[in-house]
Amino acid sequence: MSVLFLSLGVTLLYAEFAVAERQVARGRHDCPPCIFKSTPMLLRENIPLAPLTTFRLGGPARFFVEGRTVGEVQEAVAFSNSNNLPLFVLGGGSNLVVADSGWPGLVLKVAIPGIERRSGEIDGKALFDVGAGESWDRFVSHAVMAYCAGVECLSGIPGSVGGTPVQNVGAYGQEVSETIESVEVLDRKDGQVRELCREACGFTYRSSIFNTTERGRFIILRVAYALTRGGAPRIRYADLQRHFEGRETLPNLAETREAVRHIRALKGMLIVDGDPDCRSAGSFFKNPIISREQHEDLQKRAAAKGLTLPSYPALEKSKKVSAAWLVEHSGFARGYGDSHVGISSKHALAIVNRGGATADEVLALKEQIQQRVEEIWGVQLEPEPVMVGF
């Protein structure tokens, strides 16, 4: 087995790496995974990415490293730079579609752990510093058990903490941008560790600078959340209101968390062993935000078919429309498809891997859905997952 040792300056100490480089260049991806030892960073070659994603599909990473400290993350970035390798930063793997060919460079899995509550409060809020590699749902559970409100409706979302600021993750009436105090990042432009305040992150609906204007520049290391100690849960979303309908007393944070997890499970949006509807990237399309004029046109199209269009307020001059409704009323009902890829039997927005699916099959269904929705409703659906290696 070829072995590679890296110092902090990412100096190659053994020439066996050159042999591995030549094998990879010649297309030798059929060999078993090789482990490259480093101090302290462990670099591995030809690592399958499918098991590291909730979709369970996609090819291998040419090189793979797990960074459990800021120093290891910096070392991995330096290695990719010095060897001219494209770098992809992997979190919890819950919002990805990996190409069948995999990733041709280095995949860095940020696995920085830790949940720490700061002493004292700021403006009456309890502050939690959380490593980017922590399980998001574990942090939510921790916050709820500490009687701190602000993320309870985001229970059950798979993936890691580091992924939440990127897409401004939201569900059931809450978004992480409401509670994020700051984000600690590694700036790939100069290799410096910086702290970005909430305003600097440019949060909007399912968006931030991390996936738009500054895509690829920053690697998220830690996130600070400001939560309301002793706060009441937010029960604004229709599904939650129906769940607690008829109840005489207000639910507490723990009851709200369990209700959200229950609702997500009914929709196949909770990772449950043995449930085939869980092999997905979650909601595959964003809810479109359209102008009032577009919304009026959409209502007319729906009325012509004898349908009522559900929609929700977004910004002052725009409307948010249910992507799931558009998909279902374009011929893609729950359970659609009879091949390796189909629509979840529980939720129309989830494209699922029924076993043996390829990324190309997923993209083919995605494009079919997008084309049909635009033909019928005049609305362009935007995918939510990150496309890796295409």
Rounded Cα–Cα distance for residues 134 and 388 (Å): 22
User: Please, how many CA atoms are within 13 Å of residue 181, restricted to the half-sphere of its CB?
Assistant: 18
Q: Is 351 helix (H, G, I), strand (E, B) or coil?
A: strand
Task: Name the token pair of 354.
Answer: 């029924």
Of the listed 206, 222, 264, 279, which one is catalytic?
206
Helix (H) or strand (E) holding 254: helix 253-266
367 flagged as catalytic:
no
How large is the greatest C-alpha to C-alpha distance in the chain, in angstroms? 72
Q: Which residue is catalytic, options 258, 328, 374, 384?
A: 384
Distance CA 290, CA 319 (A): 5
Nearest C-alpha neighbor of 96 from the set 122, 68, 59, 140? 59
Q: Clarify whether 283 is annotated catalytic.
A: yes
Answer whether 90's CB lies under 8 Å from 73's CB: no
- Positive or negative: CA dihedral 41, 42, 47, 51: negative
Asked if 258 contacts 137 with a C-beta cutoff of 8 angstroms, the reply is: no
Q: Residue 355: left (phi > 0), alpha (psi -120 to 50), or beta?
A: left
In the numeric block, which tokens belong to residue 295?
A: 């919304």
Could you say which of 155, 160, 283, 344 is catalytic?
283
By CB atoms closer than 10 A (0-12, 13-18, 19+), residue 25 is exposed
For the chain, how many residues are written? 390
Quick check: is 384 catalytic?
A: yes
What is the set of active-site residues? 206, 283, 384
